[in-house]
Homo-oligomer: A and B are copies of this chain.
Amino acid sequence: MEAAKTEIQVKYIALSGGVGGAKLALGLEKIIQSEDLMVIGNVGDDFQHFGLHISPDLDTLLYTLSGKSNPEQGWGLANETWEFMSAMRELGGDSWFQLGDRDLATHVERTRRLQIGQSLSEITIYFRQNFGIGAAIVPATDDYLRTIVETDMGVLSFQEYFVRERCIPSIQNLYFQGSESAQITTELTKALESKELETIIFCPSNPLLSIDPILSVQGLKKAFVDSGAKIVAVTPIVGGTAIKGPAAKNLRELGYTVSASTVAKHYQGLIHGFVLDQKDHKEAKKIEKLGISVLVADTIMNDLETKVKLAEKTLRYANSI
Asked whether, in the complex, the Cβ of B81 is within 8 Å of the Cβ of A101, the reply is yes
Is A109 engaged at the interface, CB distance under 8 Å to the other chain? yes
A81–B82 Cα gap in the complex (Å)? 10
What's the tally of chain A residues with a CB closer than 8 Å to chain B? 29
Asked whether, in the complex, the Cβ of B81 is within 8 Å of the Cβ of A102, the reply is no
Q: How far is the CB of A9 from chain B (nearest CB, A)?
A: 27
A86–B100 Cα gap in the complex (Å)? 13
A13–B52 Cα gap in the complex (Å)? 36
Is A111 engaged at the interface, CB distance under 8 Å to the other chain? yes
The chain B residue sitting closest to A129, CB to CB, is B92
Asked whether, in the complex, the Cβ of A84 is within 8 Å of the Cβ of B112, the reply is no
A52–B91 Cα gap in the complex (Å)? 17
Partner of A84, one of B91, B102, B115: B102
The secondary structure that dominates the A interface is helix
Q: How far is the CB of A50 from chain B (nearest CB, A)?
A: 5
Is A1 engaged at the interface, CB distance under 8 Å to the other chain? no
Asked whether, in the complex, the Cβ of B109 is within 8 Å of the Cβ of A93, the reply is yes
Partner of A101, one of B87, B92, B106, B109: B87
Asked whether, in the complex, the Cβ of A112 is within 8 Å of the Cβ of B81, the reply is no
For A108, the chain B residues whose CB sits under 8 A away are: 50-52, 84, 88, 108
Between A81, A84, A109, A127, the greatest number of chain B beta carbons within 10 A of the residue's beta carbon is seen for A84
Partner of A87, one of B50, B86, B91, B105: B105
Between A106, A108, A130, the greatest number of chain B beta carbons within 10 A of the residue's beta carbon is seen for A108
For A88, the chain B residues whose CB sits under 8 A away are: 105, 108-109
Q: List 26 A-B contacts (CB under 8 A).
A: A51-B111, A51-B112, A52-B108, A80-B83, A81-B81, A81-B83, A81-B101, A83-B101, A83-B102, A84-B84, A84-B102, A84-B105, A84-B108, A87-B101, A87-B105, A87-B106, A88-B105, A88-B108, A88-B109, A91-B106, A91-B109, A91-B127, A92-B130, A101-B101, A101-B104, A108-B108
